[in-house]
């Protein structure tokens, strides 16, 4: 017996073919989301040069972007509960493309911080929308589709550093890199705007014999625990994907182009892992997948720490971290769907936790990077992952106690 059961009413999208078209649209939107998410890390040094800022200062870009993401997730979740979903997502994609095009044109640090905050806002609204709307489309069968959705995010994140590297190699500079990414988002936004929107959940019901107030308290506690889990996980993922290129250059393990390709290896491994997790999600329990993923993350970071001066260890650890992180986010979303009703509001709280971690943990790295040395990057990520594993154990323990109490 779960804490509560989701009642999904996909009546607005009645045919299987239409549901597939809508799912493809959401997957394309997540390719666009990946393109923007992975763009900041490989261009961090160039943006610092544009604004004449130190790395400790430009790292506030991560903070601003994550803060915008937090607000966008929080407000966007409520907006999807009240408005037709696809027009909201399409508008957010168009605004995301416009703000991306502005990023390389800003010569002043504080103005760049404002633009990155807007980028994060639109990213958060798109992200929470895709995860929420996909559950509304597929209901209890969402598991493989959710992993596919995040697989396509990985496709975009894998392609983004390659676009950046090619633009830099062709002397197009960081401006053409961002403009190319922005142009790729526009047709996706138009396609999403033309698709029908799924309906929101028709209602909620509590477990038999359980008082509504008890169910609400149980759900609220689980929402908080999962939000904390996402805080630690997304902080680790954002730190690894955002700082690994700068770490490689500062540690003398590669030049700018090599560091950009290293970022692509991370997101490429994450993409491959999400592809392989699609069939696994249909066969394994979410908690089993999550435990294996978290242990794999820890081992991969330990490889980088154990051989700090070896390029091979960095590449192996980067691939391993990306591969192990692949299915954590979608699998935890699916896990949550088994134990509570999924609405835009509850999903928004998950993303509030996620964006808070993405804001704080990379910022901490930026504050200590120049004074302590590049190794602080991997040590902070390791500490975050250890706490993440402990939080996962707490979630499993709480769910088991609740199910025994209410079963």
Would you say residue 330 lies in a domain? yes
Q: Give the β-pairing of 4-7 and 203-206.
A: antiparallel
The boundaries of the domain holding residue 389 are: 13-199+212-406
User: CA 76 to CA 125: how far, in whole Å?
Assistant: 5
Would you say residue 350 lies in a domain? yes
Would you say residue 1 lies in a domain? no
User: CA 50 to CA 43: how far, in whole Å?
Assistant: 10
Would you say residue 353 lies in a domain? yes
**What CATH number does residue 31 fall under?**
1.20.1250.20
Would you say residue 205 lies in a domain? no
User: CA 297 to CA 292: how far, in whole Å?
Assistant: 9
pTM beyond 0.75: no
Q: How many domains does the chain have?
A: 1
Give the pLDDT score at 260.
75
Give the pLDDT score at 121.
93
Tell me if 181 sits within 8 A of 35, measured CB to CB: yes
Residues 110-151 have pLDDT tens digits of 899 999 999 999 998 999 889 888 888 877 677 778 888 888
Would you say residue 318 lies in a domain? yes
Name the percent of the chain in helix, strand, coil, to the closest 5.
85, 0, 15
Across the chain, mean pLDDT equals 82
Q: Is the pLDDT of residue 6 over 50?
A: no
Residues 200-247 have pLDDT tens digits of 664 444 444 444 444 445 578 888 899 999 999 999 998 888 888 888
Q: pLDDT exceeding 70 applies to what percent of the chain?
A: 89
Would you say residue 125 lies in a domain? yes
Would you say residue 36 lies in a domain? yes
Residues 148-183 have pLDDT tens digits of 888 888 788 878 888 888 887 777 678 888 999 999
């Amino acid at each position: 017996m779960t804490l509560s059961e989701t009642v999904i009413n996909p009546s607005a999208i009645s045919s299987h073919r239409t549901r597939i078209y809508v799912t493809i649209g959401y997957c394309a939107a997540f390719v666009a989301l990946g393109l923007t998410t992975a763009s900041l890390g490989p261009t961090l040094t160039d943006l610092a040069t544009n604004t004449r800022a130190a790395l400790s200062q430009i790292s506030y870009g991560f903070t601003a972007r994550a803060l915008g993401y937090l607000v966008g997730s929080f407000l966007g979740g409520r907006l999807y509960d009240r408005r037709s979903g696809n027009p909201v997502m399409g508008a957010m994609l168009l605004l995301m493309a416009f703000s991306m095009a502005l990023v390389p044109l800003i010569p002043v640090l504080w103005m760049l911080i404002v633009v990155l905050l807007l980028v994060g806002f639109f990213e958060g609204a798109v992200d929470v929308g895709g995860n929420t709307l996909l559950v509304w489309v597929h209901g209890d069968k969402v598991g493989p589709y959710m992993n596919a959705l995040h697989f396509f995010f990985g496709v975009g994140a894998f392609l983004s550093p390659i676009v950046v590297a090619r633009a830099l190699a062709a002397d197009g500079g960081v401006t053409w890199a961002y403009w190319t990414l922005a142009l790729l988002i526009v047709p996706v936004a138009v396609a999403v705007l033309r698709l029908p929107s799924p309906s929101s959940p028709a209602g909620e019901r509590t477990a038999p014999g359980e008082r509504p107030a008890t169910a609400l308290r149980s759900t609220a506690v689980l929402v908080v625990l999962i939000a904390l889990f996402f805080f630690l996980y997304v902080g680790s993922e954002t730190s690894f994907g955002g700082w690994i290129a700068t770490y490689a250059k500062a540690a003398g393990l590669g030049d700018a182009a090599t560091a950009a390709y290293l970022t692509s290896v991370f997101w490429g491994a994450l993409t491959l892992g999400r592809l392989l997790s699609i069939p696994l999600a249909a066969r394994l329990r979410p908690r089993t997948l999550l435990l294996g993923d978290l242990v794999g993350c820890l081992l991969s970071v330990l490889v980088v720490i154990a051989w700090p001066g070896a390029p091979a260890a960095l590449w192996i650890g980067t691939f391993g971290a990306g591969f192990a992180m692949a299915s954590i986010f979608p699998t935890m979303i699916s896990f949550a769907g088994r134990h509570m009703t999924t609405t835009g509001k509850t999903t928004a709280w998950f993303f509030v936790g996620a964006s808070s971690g993405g804001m704080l943990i990379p910022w901490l790295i930026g504050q200590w990077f120049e004074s302590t040395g590049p190794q602080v990057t991997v040590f902070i990520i390791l500490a975050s992952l250890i706490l993440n594993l402990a939080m996962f154990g707490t979630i499993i323990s709480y769910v088991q106690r609740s199910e025994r109490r209410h079963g």
